[in-house]
């Protein structure tokens, strides 16, 4: 065998192995199209070709509680939610850093619930928050900061190392969405139309230590300085979710921080603000107070839209043909999804269609 043939054979073998492994990886990675759909939230951001005046950053208390479609339709404010399930503060920071590579919004809202976590929590949530990010130094740092002890960096670079055992759990979705998933979010918003009223919400158990971890303060500082550097207004918010419990001691620390650094902090759990938004936990939540449903999210968005126009003089961008068309498409999907869920609720008592066997 000549050297040339050896090199060619070796290269062919190597390329075949890589291509086939990549193909297998694509098949084995979760598609997040049914059951847990939140896994597609982060990647969805890169599908947007238009910039946003407002970004919301945080966990489920933003991606389920604020409706960007409503903000657009009512106030002409283009916005996006860079949120994911149990998104930790350092993940929010790196996701914001990543977003600021593409655009410079006027206002960034950060939901402060994640201040309660100062250590990596859960591999599954890490995956949903990080795998959808495009590769950049922000993603590398986010992974390094988020990994639990059982995780390793290589499995983020080569997800097949994590998902190889899914071969026995493959479903029709894995083949159907092999070449790409369908959008099931609305500018980062996860729409829920069902209702489960909040009753007997437990109060929080006393904690040994109410102080937020140093690492959380460090990332909040970094987020603040990043916004200052980019000329973006940072607003701290606590979404109107009744659970996980938001302690007064926690609230006081955020109030103090906001005062110290001249930031606005809006706690929607305050009775006055709750009354202003009009949120009714008998009808506006789908899981007994953890998250708002679409009716609650739209009420909160109405308040936010008015507030932002007043405080930050955000202009009404409606009338821009390209933006109108872009948001019309999202709104159309939004309305269709709402209609689908309502029909399912009426027909099956659940927003989901019954599983077919």
Helix H or strand E encompassing 17 = helix 3-28
Q: What share of the chain is helix, strand, coil (3-state, %, to 5)?
A: 50, 10, 40
Cα dihedral sign for 278, 284, 290, 293?
Answer: negative
Total site size for another protein, rule CB under 8 A: 25
b/e burial code for range 46-65 (CB count within 10 A of at least 16 → b): eebeeebbbbbbbbbbbbbb
Please say which residue, 10 or 354, places its beta carbon nearer to another protein.
10
H-assigned helices in 213-320 = 214-230, 248-261, 271-277, 294-312
CA distance linking residue 255 with residue 36, whole number of Å: 34
The binder of another protein chosen from 34, 136, 144, 152 (CB under 8 A): 152
10 binds another protein (CB under 8 A): yes
Q: Which of 67, 91, 155, 341 binds another protein (CB under 8 A)?
A: 155
DSSP 47: G
Nearer to another protein, 119 or 152 (CB): 152
58's enclosing H/E stretch is: strand 54-58
Nearest-angstrom CA–CA distance, 78 and 325 = 12
H-run or E-run covering 71: helix 68-75
283 touches another protein (CB under 8 A): no
The residue within the footprint of another protein, chosen from 22, 36, 154, 339 (CB under 8 A), is 154
CB of 10 to another protein, least distance (A): 7
Residue 151 binds another protein (CB under 8 A):
yes
When the beta carbons of 84 and 126 are compared against another protein, the nearer one is 126
State the binding string over 108-137 for another protein (x if CB under 8 A, else -). Answer: ---------------x--------------
Residues between 26 and 55 with contacts to another protein, criterion CB under 8 A: 28
Q: At what angle do helices 294-312 and 68-75 cross, to 10 degrees?
A: 50
Among 164, 196, 261, 340, binds another protein (CB under 8 A): 164
Closest approach of Cβ 205 to another protein, in Å?
30
Among 47, 150, 209, 229, binds another protein (CB under 8 A): 150
Binding site for another protein (CB under 8 A): 1, 6, 9-10, 12-13, 16-17, 20-21, 24, 28, 123, 150-152, 154-155, 160-162, 164-165, 167-168
């Amino acid at each position: 065998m000549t050297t040339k043939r050896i090199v060619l054979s070796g290269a062919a073998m190597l390329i075949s192995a890589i291509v086939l492994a990549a193909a297998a990886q694509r098949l084995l990675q979760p598609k997040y199209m049914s059951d847990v759909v939140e896994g597609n939230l982060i990647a969805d951001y890169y599908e947007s070709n238009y910039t946003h005046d407002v970004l919301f950053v945080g966990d489920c208390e933003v991606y389920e509680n604020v409706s960007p479609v409503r903000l657009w339709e009512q106030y002409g404010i283009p916005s996006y939610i860079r949120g994911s399930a149990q998104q930790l503060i350092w993940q929010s920071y790196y996701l914001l850093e990543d977003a600021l590579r593409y655009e410079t919004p006027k206002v960034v809202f950060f939901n402060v619930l994640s201040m309660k976590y100062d250590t990596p929590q859960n591999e599954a949530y890490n995956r949903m928050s990080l795998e959808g990010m495009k590769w950049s130094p922000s993603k590398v740092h986010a992974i390094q900061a988020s990994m639990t002890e059982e995780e390793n960096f290589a499995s983020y670079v080569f997800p097949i190392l994590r998902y190889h055992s899914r071969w026995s759990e493959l479903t029709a979705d894995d083949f159907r969405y092999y070449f790409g998933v369908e959008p099931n979010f609305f500018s980062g918003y996860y729409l829920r139309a069902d209702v489960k009223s909040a009753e007997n919400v437990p109060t929080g158990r006393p904690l040994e230590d109410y102080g937020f971890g140093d690492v959380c303060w460090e990332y909040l500082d970094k987020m603040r300085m990043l916004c200052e550097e980019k000329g973006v207004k940072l607003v701290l918010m606590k979404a109107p979710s009744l659970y996980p419990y938001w302690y007064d001691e926690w609230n006081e620390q955020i109030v103090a921080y906001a005062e110290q650094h001249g930031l606005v902090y809006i706690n929607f759990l305050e009775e006055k603000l709750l009354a202003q938004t009009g949120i009714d936990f008998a009808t506006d939540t789908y899981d007994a107070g953890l998250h708002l449903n679409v009716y609650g999210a739209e009420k909160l968005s109405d308040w936010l839209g008015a507030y932002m126009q007043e405080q930050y003089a955000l202009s009404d961008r409606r009338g821009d043909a390209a933006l109108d068309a872009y948001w019309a498409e999202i709104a159309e999907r939004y309305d269709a999804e709402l209609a689908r869920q309502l029909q399912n609720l009426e027909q099956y008592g659940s927003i989901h269609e019954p599983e077919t066997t």
